[in-house]
Amino acid sequence: MGSRWRATASLLLDHVTTKASDFLSPNLPKPLNRSHPLIQTVRGFKFRPFSAIPSRVSVYSNEIESGSHDLALNYPLGPKEDEETGKIPVKAYFLCTSINLKSMQAENLSNVVPPTSRSTNYTVLRFFNFSSDTSALGIGGYVSCRYMVVFQYGSAVLFNIEDHEVERYLEIVRRHTSGLLSEMRKDDYAIIEKPLLAEDMQGGLDYIVLKTLDNDSIRIIGSVLGQSIALDYFVSQVDGMVEEFSGINRAMEKTGTFTMGRKKLLQLVGKANSNLADVILKVGLFERSEIAWRDAKYAQIYEYLREEYEVNQRFGSLDYKLKFVEHNIHFLQEVIQNRRSDLLEWCIIFLLSIENIISIYEIVQG
């Protein structure tokens, strides 16, 4: 009987001790499992090792001792958070007509993200920004990652880079460019990551909501935005040619003739053909993404963004304008050819007249 009472008292004592401990320190964090395979610690900073296998990317995260093993380094996008504060900025630029990717990769070898497809017309660079934060509870740190997707045809798409930081990153690209534009073109977009999203993605006004933002998502979004901003440039080039031919047609309407030389016309022919070839071949506007082909999740993002940016419709408009330019070029070529034929005819008439005059002179002298 005595042993039974002692056992009961021992259980009550353990229960009271546990409750008192929980009451006095309810919010103390649990010890961090530093042996987790996805965590590495370097002087207090922890980050996930990256590989060519698609994984959740590191964009922004406070890595204070929280006991969490999820090192997505993402904005904490809870259901009550304002969407504006959770947006990851994306900026697309068209700087030049060609970028030497090999030399840029060699210069930034430690920042190159290993490719996951056989495509060679772009490269992805990742930059880490280590910062620290001192508070009353101690010292913590976070790792902020910036991504830059650079395309051989002249586009660069920047992820998680603020306006005041843009020039520093674009300068990395400019050192390896040719055909640098006097005025680059720019477009803005944004990404929101919501792990609790029911679907893989959801569209918004100038932004896209993703359930998981990983390296391949960045590649897909970068490819569409890079093509879109490049298409803007080529459309502006063709618009300039359309305006030039419109001026020629208005002048012909008034005067009945035109003054364009054959050399200028041939330059316009070359410009029109090179623009069309660049859009189809260099930009690869109709090449299917290998990443999207492998996974339906990325295919959904790819198709949504192409529809959002009206890539096919804009190319259709570009093709229509190029046909207008081509029609005008053929017409003006015929006019120039007729001019040359008329000149040759007059030359022949002149030579025949000289020959006749000489013949008449010889007859008279004889």
d(CA 325, CA 9): 97
Mean model confidence pLDDT for the chain:
77
Domain map (residue ranges) of the chain: 40-191, 230-360
The neighbour count for residue 154, using CB atoms within 10 Å, is 28
d(CA 335, CA 260): 10
pLDDT digits (tens, 9 = 90+) for 80-104: 344 554 789 999 999 999 999 999 9
What is the pTM assigned to this prediction? 0.69
Six-digit token string for 319: 């093709």
Q: How confident is the model at residue 50 (pLDDT cuts 50, 70, 90)?
A: very low
Residue 80 backbone phi and psi in degrees, to 5: -95, 0
Strand ranges (DSSP E) for the chain?
40-42, 45-47, 60-62, 88-99, 122-135, 138-151, 155-159, 177-193, 201-203, 208-210
| pLDDT at position 352 over 60 | yes
d(CA 141, CA 143): 7
| pLDDT at position 119 over 50 | yes
Six-digit token string for 223: 């490819």
| Strand, helix or coil for residue 265 | helix
pLDDT of residue 286: 85
pLDDT digits (tens, 9 = 90+) for 135-145: 433 333 445 78
Most confident segment among 48-52, 146-150, 255-259, 262-266: 146-150
pLDDT of residue 10: 59
Q: How confident is the model at residue 48 (pLDDT cuts 50, 70, 90)?
A: very low
pLDDT greater at residue 183 or residue 13:
183
Q: Which residues pair with 42 in a beta bridge?
A: 45
In this structure, are residues 141 and 131 in contact, taking their beta carbons and an 8 Å threshold?
A: yes
